[in-house]
Amino acid sequence: MKVNYIIVGCGLAGISFAEVLRRANKSYVVIEDNSQRSSSVAGGIYNPVILKRFSAVWKAQEQLDVLRPFYQGLEELLNVKLDHKIELRRLFSSIEEQNNWFLACDNLKLHGFLDPNIIGSSFDGINDTFGYGKVLQAGRIDTALLITNFRKYLESNNAIIKASFKHAALETHQDGIAYKNIKADYIIFAEGFGLNSNPFFNDLPLNGTKGELITIHAPELQLDVVIKSSVFVIPLGNDIYRIGATYERNDKTNVPSEAGKDELVTKLNKVLKCKYTIVDHVAGIRPTVRDRRPLVGQHGTHKHMYVLNGLGTRGVMIGPYVATALFEYIERGTVLDPELDIRRFQT
């Protein structure tokens, strides 16, 4: 088999790159072993503002400009609804937080992302005495649906191999690479936290941050917007809500923990005033990087090997943006933004 690209990993990074290739009429095969699950458990929120600190996400508008047509194209390809333009509100817990919102609205970097009007108490099931601020240009991508359907699409095109990629079996040649019976011009490693087992790129400072989410059934809640307080409350329909997430730096397993659940329940109980039952609990490792920027670029010695990683806590927004940048770099020789280029870690 001869293809232009091998992609290792079929999470948000791998799918984003595969979709860029599809649009450019390049051939590819994806290798996926289900060892990581960050993308499938993700809350799926895209949001241009860091609501804890009231600062703008890095390159927020540029990422949003790529995001919209990108997921729309995937919706058309897969014939499913992925992009839910649901309203996102920051829940205030004091007058001081309201004042901080007004100050943030005056910040030019947040211009176009925050609505200056405070929304009053709105839902019987929420402790919302101090009201809300509305974030503009936010929404939710159904990442689990995207992954399931994108993998089906790959299967029907014989473009996915469900197996673990064995790095030791990779051969590098002058004009490309070979892996078992596949020859390719390039290989893209999009392994998420699995990058730590990749001998070609495991010197990069990918820390990994475990995140847990619970899913609840709350018929009395009747909430139709996403709420961000100390946790996200994300309506999924049919009285089901996803609550998350935790941030844990020591445990690097995908196993949901009692401690994670307790933390989410404690925080949720401060927000909700109604009854609920927990119906699911999941965990994944976010591929987070020391300097909070993605890991994109070419291997120092093996010129046909590339990495697409470090999507961190915001893979939905940043995935399409960095996949496009990497493609332009490889195929058109465009300069990579030094803030995402892995050469920033070379001494």
Residues near ligand FAD (CB under 6 A): 8-14, 31-36, 38-39, 41-46, 164-165, 190-194, 211-213, 244-245, 284, 286-287, 309, 311-317
Q: How is residue 289 annotated by DSSP?
A: B
Q: Which residue lies nearer to ligand FAD by CB, 99 or 253?
A: 253
* Residues 28 and 5: beta-carbon distance below 8 Å: yes
Amino acid identity of 63? Q
Q: Which residue lies nearer to ligand FAD by CB, 46 or 71?
A: 46
Least gap, CB of 182 to ligand FAD (angstroms): 14
| The dihedral formed by the CA atoms of 233, 235, 240 and 242, expressed in degrees to the nearest 10 | -40
Least gap, CB of 312 to ligand FAD (angstroms): 6
Q: Which residue lies nearer to ligand FAD by CB, 35 or 127?
A: 35
Q: Which residue lies nearer to ligand FAD by CB, 131 or 325?
A: 325
Least gap, CB of 246 to ligand FAD (angstroms): 7
Least gap, CB of 121 to ligand FAD (angstroms): 26
Q: Which residue lies nearer to ligand FAD by CB, 158 or 347?
A: 158
Q: Which residue lies nearer to ligand FAD by CB, 187 or 272?
A: 187
Beta strand extents in 238-338 (DSSP E only):
240-244, 277-286, 295-298, 305-309
End-to-end CA distance of the chain: 38
Q: CA nearest 16: which of 332, 321, 338, 347?
A: 321
Q: CA nearest 167: which of 181, 159, 155, 179?
A: 179
Rg (CA), the chain: 21
Q: CA nearest 148: which of 234, 79, 64?
A: 79
Q: Which residue lies nearer to ligand FAD by CB, 30 or 218?
A: 30
Q: Which residue lies nearer to ligand FAD by CB, 131 or 194?
A: 194
Report d(CA 156, CA 286) in Å as an integer.
29
Q: How far is CA 252 from CA 153, 181, 246, 346, in A?
A: 31, 33, 13, 26
Least gap, CB of 79 to ligand FAD (angstroms): 23
Least gap, CB of 175 to ligand FAD (angstroms): 24
Report d(CA 194, CA 120) in Å as an integer.
45
Least gap, CB of 22 to ligand FAD (angstroms): 17
Place of tokens 């490792």: 285
At residue 327, φ and ψ (nearest 5 deg) are: -60, -45
Least gap, CB of 96 to ligand FAD (angstroms): 26
